[in-house]
Every structure is written in C-alpha cells, then in structure tokens.
Amino acid sequence: MISGIGAACAIALAEAGANICLVQRNPVEGASPNLETYNAILALGVQAKVVYCDLGDIPAVRSLFQTALDAMGGRIHILVNCAGIQRRSPCVDFSEKDWDDVRLLVHFLGPQLAVVFTHSGYCFVRCFFQVIDVNLKSVWLLCQAAGRHMTPVREGKIINFCSLMSYQGGLTIPAYTAAKGALGQLTKSLSNEWSQHNVQVNGIVPGYIATEM
C-alpha cells in the first residue's frame, strides 16, 4: 500500500493528468529501488521519471531542480514541497547534534518519497533527512531554483506543506517547529515577491495525519 502525504499528492496529480518526476534517495547498495509509487503513476497513463538525490546533501540539492528539469524536457509548472522529518526530545535535553543532523527518521512519504512538482505538465517528488536542512534549507533552494525558472516565463505555482506546528509550537520537537515556522514565513516572502510575475506561492497546513512518520 502506498502511504504518506507526498505519495498521495503525486498520485492525485497524476490522476489529474500531470506528468511526474519522483525524486528518491539513492537505494542502499545491493538493494532494488522502491518503485511502488512510480509504477502506480505509470498505471494511470501519464509519464513518470525518477531522479535520485539525498536531500541531506545540500551540494546535491543545489543541482536537483536542474536535474529534474532536464528529466522532464525543460519545463516544470508546479513545485510542491510536501514532507518533513523530526526528532523528539525534551527541549532541555535536545542536543545540538539532533538540531543539526538527523538521519534516523522516517518522513511523510514512507520509505522513499517526499515533494512534488506539477501542472497539467510535470511533477517532482522528493525525500528528507536532516531537520533544518531538509525541512527548510532544501525547500528554500528548490523554491529559489523554481522561481528562477518560472518568473521569466510568468507562469508557475509553488506549494509548500507547512504544519500546525508552524503556529502551535508543539512539544519536544524544537528543531521541527523552528523549521516549519520559518517555512511559513518563507512562503509568505516568496508569495509577496513573485506574485507580480504571475507565480503563486502558497502554504498548506495539515493537521495530524496517519502516516509512517
């Protein structure tokens, strides 16, 4: 069974006619990649591509949008950032390492996926590792790359999945809350600046959803 927000978004966009580019982390050596969502999308009769990237590797993220763009024939209409990770610990005990580097966590998409690019055209889905870098910095880099692609042609949409924790603060998740709170403000900043170029940037704030996270 395909689970998670990102997988559900990718399949829904494919059902609406979008071609999809799935961005997955590199498979473990000797293991086959998880292509469950990819195969489900193909079964809907649209195009699907898979691009591999460790989103905890910021230098790799910097070239990710261009890689996806090349895979999709030079045009991406919508970017959807729809996943995140977290580590729980009481704030007085929350370590600097947990803040900076979290690699033992699951994410919204299940074992492989977590973001989306689409339109009646193309879609891009990605995965997550580090709390601040993955929940915020990688999103910023992908949004910036998308903006550079979309604003000159005056067409495009970016959708960021924020969180109720952007407002509520939560308990025992300071790094996740900080990242999601900042993502909400980043979304507003991009929306303010790029609306004049006919590029809409919006945030979705889901409540608790039963996923593997």
AA identity, residue 160: N
Q: Which residue has the tokens 């050596």?
A: 29
Q: Find the largest Cα–Cα distance for the chain.
A: 51
Query: Could you give the CA distance from residue 68 to residue 54 in angstroms, rounded to a whole number?
Result: 14
Query: Could you give the CA distance from residue 80 to residue 10 in angstroms, rounded to a whole number?
Result: 9
- More confident call, 72 vs 174: 72
Our answer to whether residue 122 is catalytic in this structure is no
Condensed to tens digits (0 to 9), the pLDDT of residues 2-49 reads: 357 888 889 999 999 999 998 887 777 778 888 999 999 999 999 999
**Least confident piece of the model among 52-56, 113-117, 141-145:** 113-117
Query: Could you give the CA distance from residue 21 to residue 194 in angstroms, rounded to a whole number?
Result: 24
Catalytic choice (38, 52, 122, 176):
176
Contacts within 8 Å (CB) and 24+ apart, 30-39: 33/112, 34/111, 34/112, 36/2, 37/2, 37/7, 37/10, 37/11, 37/109, 37/112, 37/113, 37/125
Domains of the chain: 5-204 (3.40.50.720)
Condensed to tens digits (0 to 9), the pLDDT of residues 80-112 reads: 887 566 667 888 887 877 766 544 333 333 333
Q: Which residue has the tokens 């055209």?
A: 121
pTM above 0.85, yes or no: no
